[in-house]
Structures are given as C-alpha cells and as structure tokens.
Amino acid sequence: MPMENKDFSKASVNNDRNGFADRTGSYPKQGSINSPSVNDKARGTTRVNVELGGASADIDLEIKEEPASIYPNSQVKETASGHIIETDDTPGGERVMIRHRTGSGVEMRADGTVVYGSVANTIRVTAHDEKVIVDGDGELHYNGNLKLKVSGDFDLEVGGDFNVKVEGDVDQTIKRGYKQDIGGSKEVQIIESKSETIGIDATTFIHGNNTSIIKKSNGLFVGEDQAQNIGGTLVMTAEKEITLSSKSVNIAASSLAMLGDSGTIGGTDMVYYGKTAHIPRINSTSIHATTFHGDLNGVAEKANEANKAGTAAVGPAGTGGTPTVTTATNKVTAEPTTSLLNDALENSSIGIKRVDIDTSKGLFNRLNRLDHYGGVSKTDLTTRQVRSKLRDPNNINNETFTGACIAEGILSPFFSREAILTVDRIVSNDKSLRIPSTIMGNPANPMERFIGTPNSVNKTDALPDAKFNPVFQEGSISSRTRLAEGITMATFLGGVGDPVTLTHILDDGERLNLAKQYTLHTRILKAVNSHKAVREFKDFRLQVVEGLYRPEIGEDLDVSDGINYLMSRGRAVVYELINEKGEIAVEKTFDLAVYFKDNIQFEKMILDYDNYNPDDSLNAQIIIVMPEITPPWEVIYTNKIETRYNNFSQVTNELMEALPTT
C-alpha cells in the first residue's frame, strides 16, 4: 500500500484525525515542515553551540571552527522547549553538548576544549576544598564590578612580574602592620601631591647617600628638639639670606671665621676675648689697658695730676721709676674687604652654591604630560585614549596634541583624511526589509519579509523597571548601582577606550542624573547581548568602549558639536561589536547599525569610522546619543543617523559602509 503524502503545513490543535496530530501545536516545528523526521541537527543542516556571544576586546577565545554533523554520526535529543543533548562522532567534529533552551550549557569540543556558557547568572558552591590547576595562560575580564572576600589568609605568589594598572583610586585599609622586602630598587612617580601622616615614630636608615632635590620651598616644623650629628662636613649656603634666631645660641670651634663687609656684632652685655683687633675706630666711655702704643688724643687722669705738680712748691727730689712695656702682637690676616668677600662668595669653595632645578621644565614635563599634550592629558596616552580625545573638535584642532601623538607613534599621520577611501553599501533612514528573528507562533510561511513604518519623532516616558530605577536604590550612586539585569554603572565607567571613575562628581543629584541617562543605554546592550536578542549577532558581543568622559584641566569641550561633552553628561556612549577573536567586527558593525536604525529608539546614531590606528587600519564603532531626560522620565526620540570618518561627517540621514584598505 503506497504511503500517503501528508501536508503538515496547516497542522492545528483541532486536526487530530487518525490520532497523529499534536494537540499542543508544538509539532511540527518551524523549519521541519515537509522535511525528514530526523532532527535537523543530527542531519547537519543546522548546528547549534553553547551561547558565548563574542569575546571581549583584545581577548581571543580561540574557538576553532568544526565541520557540520554527518548523519548518522550525530545523536541528538531535543525537547519541545528546545533543550538539547547531542553526542557527535563526525570525523573532525567529535563533541558532546548539553544545552539549555536559552543557550546556556556545557560543550566538549573535538579538540578536547570544554566550553561553559551561561546567558544569565553562574553560581558555584563548593562545600569543602577546591583546587584549580591551569598549565597555560589565563585571562579574566569583568565588564562590571568584582568583589573578592577571603575569611582567612590570602597568599599570592608571582614567579615573574606583578603589574597593576588602576585608572581610578587605590584605597587600602590595614588594621595592623605593613611590611615590604625589596631585593632591588623602588621607584615612585607622583604627578600631583603626596601626604603622609604618622601617629608615633618614624625612622629612616640609609646605608648609602641620600639626596633631596626640591624645586620650590621646603618647610620643617619640629615641636620639641632637633639634633643633627654629622660625621663629616656641614655645608649650608643660601643665595639671599640666612636667618638664625633663638633665646640662646652657642657656637664653638677651635678655628672660627666670621666675615662680613658690613653689619653689627655685639650687644649691651657682650664680653669679647681675643688676641688682636684691627679696628679703625672705637667708640667707648672707658678703656682699660696695661700699655698703650701710639698717640693718644685727650688728657689722661695722671696728666692732670702732673699739671697740678707744675704749680706746686718745690720739694725734695724723688727716685726714678722703671716702666713695664708689653709689645703688642702684629698678627695680620686677610682683611675682609667688600671685593674680597664678593670673590669668596662667588668663586671659592666656601662660596654660595647656585641652585637651578629644571628651569626648562624638561624633567617635569616628562612626569606631567599636560604641556606635552597641549593641555589634553597629564599621563601617557594609548591609541584608544587618543581616539576618545579626538571626538572633540577643539582637540582635533590642537596641533600640539596631535603632533605629539604622531611623534609617539600612537596616531596615524593620516588622521586628518576627510573622506572614506572605499565605500560599499549605503542605507537610507527608511525602514529596511528584514527577516524576523523571533517568530510569533508557528506560521506556515515564517520566512515572509516585512517592512516597518519609517522612523519618526517619538515623545514618550522611559520609566525603567522599578527594580533597577536608580531613584529608588539606597545610598549614593556608585559603580555598583544596578541599572538592568547584569548591567551596573561600572559598565559605562570602565570602558576599554578611556576608563574613568565617579570620584570627581561630588553632587548626588548629578550622579543620579547620570544613572538615569544610562538606563536608556542598557537597552542598547540588551538588544545584542541578551539571549533573547536577534540571532544575527549571537556570535558577537556589544561592548562599551567609551562611557562617561572626564575632561582634563586643560580641555575646553565643545558644547555645540562635541561628543565628549555629551558623554560627560551620560547622554552619549561609544560601542564596539567584538567577535570571538576579541577583534572589532568591522563589516558586521554596519549590519548592526542598520538593525539599530530599524529597531532602536535614540536621539542620534553615528556610524563612526576612522584610520587613527598607527598602522592606518580601519576602526568601526557605533555612537548612540540618547535624549536628555526631562523629569521625571520624559524623553523625545528623534532617531537621526549620520556616518562619520575621522570625525568628519560623510552623510546625514544615511549609513555609509567603509571598507578596509590595508
């Protein structure tokens, strides 16, 4: 008896003729109508894996491509909701996979690689001990926050170098001691200030030399005593003046020289001891000495008596006397004249040491890069950070900044090229024809195309889920504030392009406004990274590379056409689409921009290309500008689009695809 051909395209819960129909309407599944009953994954016509999305920037997952399954090597068990258990013996593609309907699961691939993927949370609890051994390298990347708590000791041993890079602050609280043993040298560079407070004592023991170089002033304040004991020579010189004052000053030396061509020495009760004085004039009311040599001007006391004797009566003759004569020393040293002192102060070994410290600011500019970069950055920059800075027109026109970046090899010399070299696809702002990625129900013709209504201005309320409404969250807004499932404020602060913190924003109201603006951007991330998102981008990850922007003290942001100004207010965010190799998917970025144009609400979307990389390679990003929220949550979406190249506008109301030229 010949088999009757059945058309299952119109299967219905009411069609239970002969008892073979599925009363639930689950079967036949989409794609299986008029097809063999063997699972399409076992036949190799369809292949699914554990959902990973893309990698993170600069992290290669090293996932190898595997051949499609060859029947009957693959055994597949798939439930009505989509759970899959697969064992595959296809040559070159041998694998075992357990996959949840959402895409989470574990997969053991042909080369022995074990892949774990979770589209939601991952929870692991170990009741006893846990040991992990990795013979190769490891990489961890958290797009949010990470908290590590150890109840006991935390021992960390590093066989090589230990490199830590922190874009924000480091805050350490240590209740007891802190000990460091360093076998080599220690270098510390601080661009701004240093403050140190010690509660009790401080001791510094230096076996070699100690040199302190201070360009400006140095102050030392001691509440009690200070002792300086020096085994060799103490040299103190000052170009202008030295002031030494105290209630009592003691200076003792076996050989003492005090020289000056003018000034005052002495006081009311001063007592002087010495051997020789070379003094042209002495002003005094009384001088006592055993012997005088030279001429005296005036009348001595005994001379007055002699005058009286001359007028007295003549008496008997007296005996002659013998005077005692003491010869005065004639020791002479160099007279400290003005010319002699000037020569000694300027040219001798005891002269003033002239101090000139970094007068050209060369050393300072090597430390603080603000002048080097034309006021744009205090620290050395990477190409990603340069790209972020160049979004502002004022920075593009800063020749000191761009010239320094080119000289350092972190910016292509062709950064000012104004037009895309090679153009491919161009899409207008009208809605595009698309194949639906999520099909409602079980229609007979699911591949029928549709076209939506054109984008238009839309005024609406953007109230988020109450669970993630920043207005209702306790405490001040921080990097840990949750904005959506799996998304915190940290997502928009720690981008790989130009990461910042919230420490410079002290006003709680300003932080709250930022958090509210970023709730609009969570929908952009969910549109690609969620397991419920469009399947076209399931092997890619949308990553924030530039979120909140913090201008340097020397930057003057353009408030009229500057993306960085909008980023500083939480309205603009820069995204990259990353593949499984950790690279930007340049071609797919254009497809994503088209998808966003048709399905996402925004104020403006910019498809942004540039050749800023030093090798002149093409970079592709998407900039989403959200409207400013009018309290409490009102927004106006205008849905404008633009294509830029090297920050020069190419077209408005159109998306233009640039092709790599290198």
H or E stretch including 107?
Answer: strand 105-108
- 329: pLDDT confidence band, cut at 50, 70 and 90? low
- Asked whether residue 471 is domain-assigned, the answer is yes
β strands within 361-512, DSSP E = 423-428, 458-461, 482-484, 487-488
The tens digit of pLDDT for each residue in 121-160 reads 999 999 999 999 999 999 998 888 999 999 999 999 999 9
- 350: pLDDT confidence band, cut at 50, 70 and 90? confident
pLDDT over 90 (residue 319): no
**For residues 609-626, average pLDDT:** 97
- Given a contact cutoff of 8 angstroms between Cβ atoms, the answer to whether 415 and 589 are in contact is no
- Asked whether residue 611 is domain-assigned, the answer is yes
The tens digit of pLDDT for each residue in 65-74 reads 899 999 999 9
User: CA–CA separation, 433 vs 427, rounded Å?
Assistant: 11
- Asked whether residue 280 is domain-assigned, the answer is no
pLDDT over 50 (residue 658): yes
**For residues 388-409, average pLDDT:** 96
Instruction: Name all contacts of 97-106 with Cβ < 8 Å and 24+ positions apart.
Output: 97/49, 97/50, 99/48, 99/49, 99/50, 102/51, 102/531, 103/50, 103/51, 103/531, 103/538, 104/50, 104/51, 104/531, 105/50, 105/51, 106/50
- Asked whether residue 530 is domain-assigned, the answer is yes
Give the number of other CB atoms < 10 A from CB of residue 249.
7
**For residues 293-308, average pLDDT:** 65
Cα-Cα-Cα-Cα torsion 625, 628, 634, 635, nearest 10 degrees, comes to -30
- 305: pLDDT confidence band, cut at 50, 70 and 90? low
Q: Considering only CA atoms, which of 520, 540, 514 is closest in space to residue 601?
A: 520
pTM for this one? 0.80
H-only helix segments in 530-640: 563-568, 586-599
Q: Which amino acid is at 104?
A: S
Q: Considering only CA atoms, which of 484, 440, 488, 432 is closest in space to residue 462?
A: 484
User: CA–CA separation, 528 vs 535, rounded Å?
Assistant: 9
Report the pLDDT value the prediction gives residue 282, as an integer from 0 to 100.
Answer: 80
Mean pLDDT of the chain: 87
β strands within 482-639, DSSP E = 482-484, 487-488, 541-546, 572-578, 604-610, 619-625, 634-637
- The set of residues, in sequence order, having a beta carbon less than 8 Å from that of 502 and lying 6+ positions away, is 477, 478, 479, 489, 493, 511, 514, 548
Residue 575: give the domain boundaries.
Answer: 421-439+446-658
Report the pLDDT value the prediction gives residue 280, as an integer from 0 to 100.
Answer: 81
Number of structural domains (the chain) is 1
The tens digit of pLDDT for each residue in 169-207 reads 999 999 999 999 999 999 999 999 999 999 999 999 999
Report the pLDDT value the prediction gives residue 464, as an integer from 0 to 100.
Answer: 93
User: CA–CA separation, 73 vs 66, rounded Å?
Assistant: 14
- Asked whether residue 612 is domain-assigned, the answer is yes
User: CA–CA separation, 101 vs 533, rounded Å?
Assistant: 14
pLDDT over 50 (residue 98): yes
